[in-house]
Amino acid sequence: MKQIIERLTAPTPNFFKKLRNFGLALTAISAVVVGSPVALPVIVVKVAGYLAVAGGIVGAVSQTAVQGGE
């Protein structure tokens, strides 16, 4: 467990910072679409749900990348 905490707090390379931010933005946009008060087609809501999951995974995996290949 200690190794995971060390990886999460270690410096993240710039590429993975950008990828993490993209994943967070994707998740946020998906949340807005899913929570929209306007009736949207079912396929749009379903795709937004999938994008939210993908964005969350991209953000989590990107956060665990560390500089120096340790």
| Closest among 2, 3, 18 to 63, alpha carbons compared | 18
Q: How far is CA 43 from CA 5, 33, 46, 48, 56, in A?
A: 38, 12, 5, 8, 20
Phi-psi region of 36 (alpha: psi -120 to 50; beta: other; left: phi over 0): beta
Task: Report how far residue 49's alpha carbon sits from residue 9's, in angstroms, rounded to the nearest whole number.
Answer: 29
Domains of the chain, by residue range, sit at: 2-63
Q: What is the mean pLDDT of residues 47-67?
A: 90
pLDDT at 70 over 80: no
pTM of the model: 0.76
Per-residue pLDDT tens over the stretch 17-44? 999 999 999 999 999 999 989 999 999 9
**Predicted local confidence at residue 6, as pLDDT:** 81
